[in-house]
Amino acid sequence: MIRASAFLPGLGRFYIGLVLAFLYLPLVIMAAMSFNASPFYQLPFESTTHWYVALANDDGLIAATFNSLKIAILTTAIATVLGTAASLGLFRYEFTGKRLLQALIVPPIAIPWLISGTAMLIFFFGTGIGRGLHAILLGHVALALPYVIIVVSARLQTFSRDLEDAAASLGASAWQTTWKVTLPLIAPGVIAGGLFAFAVSFDQFVVSYFLATPGQTTLPVEIYAAIRKGFTPEINAVSTIIIVFSMSLMLVVSRFFRFGGDH
């Protein structure tokens, strides 16, 4: 028993190390190869910034990146506002069909995006919305909204209604209570929901592929098209920039918000 108790912690650390290596090693290799002079990943490694210079001159990738950022930011703003409002409504009020509505929030997350993309394409054409960046934005908001509602609702489960009652007893209006009491306390959940919305939108390929028009694509669609034509290390460069930006954003957010609590 003594030997087993001494052996298991080491085995656990080894297993965690393998999992982390499986997750991060491909990213490290990709980032390293974005600085390799050879377009075919030949060794020995020769350092260069040529692919970043080439990326700066690639109008297609740059335009697609800005489209993805613009759509992701708008999706985050819209989905966070609507999702937070919906979560507060579900938390505060009782009404007919509430349980059914709560149950219907989950299935859109489980439905394969291929089915969702096909359904949106048919629906948008049938209603005259058509395709384009506006259609992609609507599709992304629809996909991101359930994530925001679920995350914010989970945060609200730890929120005491007594605080809102106390604010109301002191003369605060419903808006003042929401703005000065409720939102500051559930802010970590709102921020987390917004980050989910941003990630869902920026990384979304299937819906964007169905709803994009020639010349108005997002970064995942543009990368897919570039890979079909022939892979270039410029994709490594733009992917490395995105990874650095995403991890920096997460570090900044986690610095100011303790998502796991105070302990």
Question: Which residue's entry shows tokens 């920026």?
Answer: 202
Kindly state the tokens that stand for 173.
Answer: 């209006």
Distance of CA 143 to the CA centre of its chain: 11
Name the residue among 54, 75, 24, 29 with its Cα closest to residue 198. 75
Instruction: Give the C-alpha separation, 223 to 61, whole Å.
Output: 8
Instruction: Give the C-alpha separation, 154 to 193, whole Å.
Output: 10
User: What is the residue-wise DSSP string for 170-238?
Assistant: TT--HHHHIIIIIHHHHHHHHHHHHHHHHHHHHH--HHHHHH-BTTB--HHHHHHHHHHH---THHHHH
Under DSSP, is residue 47 helix (H, G, I), strand (E, B) or coil? strand
Question: Is 60-231 CATH 1.10.3720.10?
Answer: yes
Q: What's phi and psi for 39, nearest 5 deg?
A: -75, -10
pLDDT in 10s for each residue of the chain, 263 residues: 456 566 667 777 888 989 999 988 888 888 888 888 777 777 777 788 888 888 888 888 888 889 999 999 999 999 999 999 999 888 888 888 888 888 888 888 888 888 988 999 999 988 989 898 999 999 999 999 999 999 999 888 888 777 877 887 877 777 888 888 888 888 888 988 998 999 899 989 999 999 988 878 898 888 888 777 766 778 888 888 888 888 887 787 777 665 555 54
Q: Say if CB 35 and CB 187 are below 8 A apart.
A: no
Q: Could you report the per-residue pLDDT of 223-235, keeping only the tens digit for each?
A: 888 777 766 778 8
Residues of the chain with CATH 1.10.3720.10: 60-231
Q: Could you report the per-residue pLDDT of 47-96, keeping only the tens digit for each?
A: 888 888 888 888 888 888 899 999 999 999 999 999 999 998 888 888 88
